[in-house]
Amino acid sequence: MKRALISVTDKTGVVEFAKKLNEHGYEIISTGNTFKKLQENGVNVIQVEDVTNFPEILDGRVKTLNPYIHGGILYRRDEQSHVDTVKEHNIGSIDMVVVSLYDFEGAVRSGKSHEDIVENIDIGGPSMIRSASKNYKDVTVVVDIADYPMIIEKLEGEGLSLEDRKKLAYKAFSTTARYDALISSYFAGVLDDKYPDILNLTFEKNTELRYGENGHQRGFLYSQPNAKNPILNYEQLNGKELSFNNINDLSGCLEFMREFKDYDGVCSVAIKHANACGVGLGKTPLEAYTKCFESDKLSIFGGIVGITSTVDVATAKMLSEIFLEIVVAYDFEPEALEILKGKKNLRVLKIAKIEKSKQPYDLKYLDGKLLLQDKDLIESEKQEVVTKVAPTKEQLEDMDFGMKIVKNLKSNAIAIVKDGQTLAIGCGQTSRIWALSNAIENNKDLKRFEGAVLASDAFFPFDDCVRLAEKYGVKAVVQPGGSIKDEDSIKACDELGMTMVFTGVRHFKH
């Protein structure tokens, strides 16, 4: 007779599965509450201690860690010495192991005490899973309730093949690896070890995307199960599924929106290729979006628009006038949503109000290497006026606004802003003067630069940016400072009657 050991925390479907195993000639061995549930529901089941001849001890911490269990799982059926050993010691074979682990992840998420969380670290379960997985040629291991129907279907046919058992073992090893990674991450947090010598990260596949960055590339979305307050947390209300590029651009959009989470008003941002092409602040969603749209009426076409409020009817009407890939906001008035739904392919996303980032770092995977760094959460260390002319209150407000913009643009990055609106953006250039030149040349109405503020993500190595900006009416500059030629830019500002402020913090983003 074949035997199956069943010990599950998630008992969904286990009674029906066990009864089917009984029908196919399996004797069921079980533990604790799983045994009680199976017995109460008419399953032919025996307790683990009937096999081990040893009771559960230490509040259930030790029950399956026993040679009568692991010997029955691990012995090789094709190795005569193994067969002789288990026969000599009267160890019966265990041909199937069905285990779901203690809910460690749930204990952490629910905020239980450290002692309770530690008690939810499973020891016997992973041991049995790994034993069965190692011996997959002879033993079937089951860790996912979604596999119950497939296994029964196979048993009712020609049985489980070696390839079937290998796939189940692969899933099982992945399950225990994920479990250990979650435990490792938890203890790293307890000990405040932000950059451990061994970094264990685990991700789960959400979905396969239609394609990757380009049509010939496959694309997938994975999620980190223990991430706190993930920014890509949305409800899709309309439109076709999101693509790889949509999700990447959306992430950039939400990061911009996060910069203005505490703003006493509404921020609207338009994103194209993960960079902002327009940002506007206003008292209403319509005012904010209008300023955002008028920042760059050309580049916004086919982009993503984010709004940090509820979208009303007037704003929805204006949004629907052009082609957009995504509109994302905190909510939508019912009539506004119906207007947007009139464009069947427009993705309409509702997000929870954006909070402060709780992710510890940014990372980049580089072909076998992982670059890790702190998230860039600091805006400035100072507001040092370095010119003879001091900035006005309004200019200081626009400087703060401008630095929030360049902080989230690809370097080299500059932004010309005024009254809570971007007037011109230049980013991703190999020269800072080119970034500024492109921003200026791509704007037809240059008159609106009069009295504006120029923000730069890094210092000016020369005075060329100051002199070019002043030609078009820019009167104030904010930058980190720190160049050996800072004095050249300061002198140029004094000569031209401009004001300049140093923040002391560079914001490269590559």
Catalytically active residues, by annotation: 134, 273
The closest alpha carbon to 244, from 210, 275, 271, belongs to: 210
Distance between CA atoms of 331 and 333, rounded to whole angstroms? 7
Burial label, 476 (beta-carbon count in 10 A; 0-12, 13-18, 19+): buried
SS3 for 502?
strand
* C-alpha span between 239 and 241 (Å, rounded): 7
Integer Cα distance of 401 and 271 in angstroms: 17
**Strand locations in 169-286 (E):** 204-208, 220-223, 234-238, 266-272, 275-282
- For 344, the token pair is 């069947």
479: left (phi over 0), alpha (psi -120 to 50) or beta: beta
Q: At what angle do helices 464-471 and 486-496 cross, to 10 degrees?
A: 20
**Of 166, 94, 163, 160, the residue nearest 127 (C-alpha):** 94
CA distance 408 to 473: 25
Cis peptide before 41 (omega within 30 of 0): no
Counting Cα atoms < 13 Å in the Cβ hemisphere of 111 gives 1
* Beta carbons of 267 and 422 less than 8 angstroms apart: no
CB distance 448 to 475 below 8 Å: no
First and final C-alpha spacing in the chain: 63
- Token duo for residue 421: 């609106």
509 vs 375: CA distance, rounded Å: 11
Distance between CA atoms of 287 and 265, rounded to whole angstroms? 10
How many residues are there in the chain?
510
The 10 Å Cβ neighbour count of residue 92 is: 16
Beta bridge partners of 351: 234
Tokens, residue 231: 């920014």
Quote the CA–CA distance of 485 and 212 in Å, as a whole number.
Answer: 44
Residue 240 amino acid letter:
K
Q: Which residues contact 374 (CB under 8 A, 6 or more apart)?
A: 360, 361, 362
Please tell me whether residue 201 adopts helix, strand or coil conformation.
coil
